[in-house]
Amino acid sequence: MNNKEKLRKAGLRPTKQRMIIADILLDGINRHFTAEILQNEINSSGNSMSIATIYNCLKKFRNCGLIKQIESSKDTAIFDTNINQHHHFLDEETGELIDIENDEVNLRKLPEIPQGYLNNGVEVLIKIKKQI
């Protein structure tokens, strides 16, 4: 399925701008990125785009499940092109994130989901720090 079809399937009009971003993000490679990093990649690809459009686009892509936003206490939103359930190592010093595939983690025991709620995904974060 090409990117135009992916956008259509997600209920998004395949505009010129969304196609430029889809061509960068939806290439099957797992990446963590911020709006600013994406803007640099757009510029490097010989295109340009208003930062407002980049934010709009990221929000739409995220809401459609084309990308994920990572839970992070950094001041800049971090997105992930890996939309499968998976986990992360986090170096809190540098903010570096490293993917952990889902099958590398196994939960023996999970707590009961609160009354009236459904499980909507489990994320394991392993904080790491450089050895001295």
The residues of the shown chain that bind its own copies, judged by CB under 8 A, are: 69-73, 77, 87, 89-92, 98, 100, 104-111, 113-114, 116-131
Q: Per CB under 7 A, does 108 bind DNA?
A: no
Choices 46-54, 93-101, 105-113, 119-127 (CB under 7 A): range interacting with DNA: 46-54
Q: 88 - beta bridge partners?
A: 99, 125
Show Cβ contacts of residue 29 under 8 Å, excluding neighbours closer than 6 positions: 81
* 112: DSSP letter: P
- Is residue 42 within 8 Å of residue 22, measured between CB atoms? no
User: For binding to DNA (CB under 7 A), which residues are involved?
Assistant: 8, 12-18, 34-36, 49-53, 55-57, 59, 75-77
